[in-house]
Amino acid sequence: MTDSRQSRGKIEISFAVNGEPKTVRAYPMERLLDVLRQQLQLTGTKEGCGEGECGSCSVLMDGILVNSCLVPILQAEGSRVVTIEGLAAGETLHVLQEAFLECGGAQCGICTPGMILAAFHLLNEKPEPTIAEIKEGLSGNLCRCTGYSQILEAVAEAARRRTAA
């Protein structure tokens, strides 16, 4: 297969990922999910269903929580994307990551990145959410392992620590 054939129809997209400027060549309708995972090697973003139902591929785009499996890369032009890789500061975990670890919020781990980003988004909108608001805020992210309780506790705990800090 020749290079020209491979790149025919591809366009150049520039956007910021976890604060770093990135430029990629991709088909306009390629999924943001695939560009993140395959071109940028940010494999923390997971695919669970490919149709926006499970939330495993959740990332933040200009501060809004999106399912990256439903976002054509075309739409990412000029945007600021945050993935799970952008949350910890070096080896220092984000307070949500710490709380997930301590409260048992991660079991198999496959929904965890999306779940943590959904929680991150929730805490940005509502720094002191009630349990009902946490349930609502995470209801777009499916987890088959935990039955959610320990995830809800983790988010509540992270909120407490953030407001205490």
* Binding region for other proteins (CB under 8 A) out of 11-19, 73-81, 120-128, 134-142: 134-142
* Binding region for other proteins (CB under 8 A) out of 8-16, 60-68, 71-79, 128-136: 128-136
**CA gap 54, 58 in Å, rounded:** 9
Q: Which is nearer to other proteins, 102 or 125 (CB)?
A: 102
What is the smallest separation between the CB atom of 85 and other proteins, expressed in angstroms? 6
Helix (H, G, I), strand (E, B) or coil at 141: coil
**CA gap 119, 128 in Å, rounded:** 12
CB of 40 within 8 A of CB of 24?
A: yes
Strand partners, 22: 15
CB of 10 within 8 A of CB of 25?
A: yes
**CA gap 71, 14 in Å, rounded:** 15
Q: Does 45 bind other proteins (CB under 8 A)?
A: yes
Q: Does 72 bind other proteins (CB under 8 A)?
A: no
What is the smallest separation between the CB atom of 42 and other proteins, expressed in angstroms? 8
**CA gap 157, 152 in Å, rounded:** 9
Site string for other proteins, 22-41 (x = CB under 8 A): ---------------x----
Residues of this chain that interact with other proteins (CB under 8 A) are 1, 37, 42-51, 53-54, 56, 83-85, 87-88, 93, 97, 100-113, 116, 134-136, 138-152
